[in-house]
Structure formats: C-alpha cells, structure tokens
Amino acid sequence: MVETLRIAITGCGRAARVHLERLLAVEGVRLVGCADPDVAAAENLATWARAQQGEGDEIVVATDHRDLLKRARPAALAIFTPHLAHYRPALDALQAGCHVFVEKPLSGNSQEAADIVGLAQARGRKVGVGHQFRLRPSLIETRRRLAEGVIGTLRMVTAVLAQPWLEHQRGAENSWRFDAKIAGGGILADAGDHLVDALLWTTGRGAVEVGALQSRLESGLDVVTAAAIRLDEGVPATLAIAGVTPGSLFAIDYFGEIGRLRATDQILRERIHDGETKTIELPEQSTSIDANFVAAVRGDAPLCCPASEAVATVRLLEAIARSASSLQIVKLS
C-alpha cells in the first residue's frame, strides 16, 4: 500500500488548481491545507479538493503560510505565489521539516535561491522547481543528441518564445505576469524562464556573460526581452522573449559543425550535412512535474529539476534584467 503524502499549498490562484489536479491524480496524495491572502481563493481551492478527495483529513484554510504550516503540519508545501513571494514560504517550510515544490522560477534573485538550496541541504529536504519543459520528450531527446555529438561540436544556439498579448489582457489575474515590479522580472521571469532553463539544460552549459535589451510600456509592463549570451566553451546564444505576438511560439535551434537541431515544445527536427530535414519520432510524455516531485519525495525517482540546478536559471535571468537596465555587458561569476 502506498504511503499517504500530506501536501499543503500556498498561493491559491489558477496555477495552483492546475497543479493540484495533477497532484491528486497521484495515488496516496492528500491536500491538507491551503493558504492565500485572499481567503476566498483558499476556501474555493479547499472546497474543490474536498469534493475530489472525499472523506479524510481536514483541509485547513489560512491567510498566511506560517499559520498553515503550524496547523496542517504537511509533509510537503507547494508554492504557487507570485515570484517575489517564493522565498519566505520556502525557507519557513524547510525550517518546519517539509519538502518543497516551488513553481518556477525558484526565487527572485540568486542569493535567495542559494539560501533555499543551502537550507534544503542542511535539513535533508528535497526542493523541486517547476521547470516542466525538462520533461518534454523533444527536449529530453535534444539533450541526449547534443551530449552524443550527433550534430558535431555545438557552435551557436538561437532561442525564441512568443505569447499573444491579448491572452494577458482579459483580466487582472494575469497582468502581474508582465509587471516586473510584482512578478520579479515580468514576462522574462514568468514564461521566459522556460526558455532560459531549457537553453541551459539541453546544452549542459552555463552562462558566462550576457548583453540584453528590454522593451516596456509606460506602465512598466515588460513586453519584449532580447539577449546575447556567451555560454561555456565560447558558444554564443541569442534569446528573444515577446508577449505581444499574434500567436504562440517556443523554439530552440542548435547549430553544430555537421548538422542542426530544431526543438519546439512538441517536435524535434534534425538535419545532418546537406541532407533532408527529418522529424524525430518521440514517445509520449511519461509523467508530470508534480508526479515527479511526489516520486522524488518517496525516493522512487530523482527530481526533474532540483533547486540546486535551478539556481543557474535564476542567475541568468537576474543578469539579463541587470544588463537590460544598465545597457552594459554583465559577467556571471
């Protein structure tokens, strides 16, 4: 029989509902508490979860994560708050002996991210980060082929992510995603960090330096970011993130000495020398980021994205934002 895993959630908006559906689909997972400054949001999520779980543990509703930890005593805390509010709940949960799942990015700056990693290691707790693109078969296969040198020595990478602006104008719920002051980086740190993490993870290279430009509206909403990045071993990469396009796009092109790979979130194409471009057959995605976290806590699988690896993404996001604001090249230590 599978041991019950008691999970609590702080930050009870739309993202929490999506993740909770996947968590409750895993055998033995039970929600034991919800916290949100908007108590109605916490109560609504708890009510929905009660209907899914049936009779069992009480679901505590609170307005503060510290109260939630004290009353619900979960084994794990899942954090779906705005980015700048990831740090304190993560530290408090680790201090309380909980494992932690943090929606990406890990935190708003690299020092906070390092603090979380350090405390997790000291307490012997697992911290998973929601970089779920690492589970996409197209990117898993890309990483494998790059490591095996299928396209020869990697010489250049170009990465693009675009989202429709209208998608984020329908209501106030999503406007924070573009607000750099609230979200801790605007679209760059929200949807853009999928692209940044995928770039670093698939190539297996760290970033050495970056130069970036950013376009914002008068209100401060971050709508376009472009960056030139030098990766380890001198590999140049360009990155473009836009929130004002008529359609969606996620694509990374890898140029090697003998071939090229083009990965989207669903498809991988390969061309060697001057041959035909072929679409690589891929398996279905086998698990979710949430199920992976549960498996890792139970000791059945490694974390897809442990906090120790997510620090590199936070550091590069921070450097891109700093370069764009200063119009200077920023070196990463």
Asked if 87 and 229 sit in the same domain, the reply is no
* Residue 236 placed within a domain: yes
Q: What CATH number corresponds to the domain at position 221?
A: 3.30.360.10
Structural domain including 123 reads 5-132
**Domain end position, chosen among 132, 155, 174:** 132
DSSP 248: -
pLDDT for position 41: 95
pLDDT averaged per 10 residues in sequence order, the chain, 333 residues:
90 93 94 96 94 83 97 97 91 98 92 96 97 97 98 97 64 51 66 93 97 80 88 96 84 98 97 95 95 96 96 94 92 87
Beta strand residue intervals within the chain, DSSP E = 5-10, 29-35, 60-62, 76-79, 99-102, 127-129, 154-164, 207-216, 222-231, 236-245, 249-256, 259-264, 268-272, 278-279, 330-331
Structure tokens at 241: 């993130």
**Closest alpha carbon to 260 in 238, 277, 283, 236:** 277
Whether residue 300 lies inside any domain: the answer is no
What local confidence, expressed as pLDDT, does residue 181 receive? 57
Q: Flag whether 153 is in a domain.
A: yes
What was the pLDDT predicted at 220? Answer: 64
Are residues 185 and 154 both part of a single domain? yes
The pLDDT assigned to 266 comes to 93
Where residue 15 sits, what CATH number does that domain have?
A: 3.40.50.720
* Residue carrying structure tokens 């790059």: 146
Can you name the residues that pair with 33 across neighbouring β-strands?
8, 60
Number of domains in the chain: 2
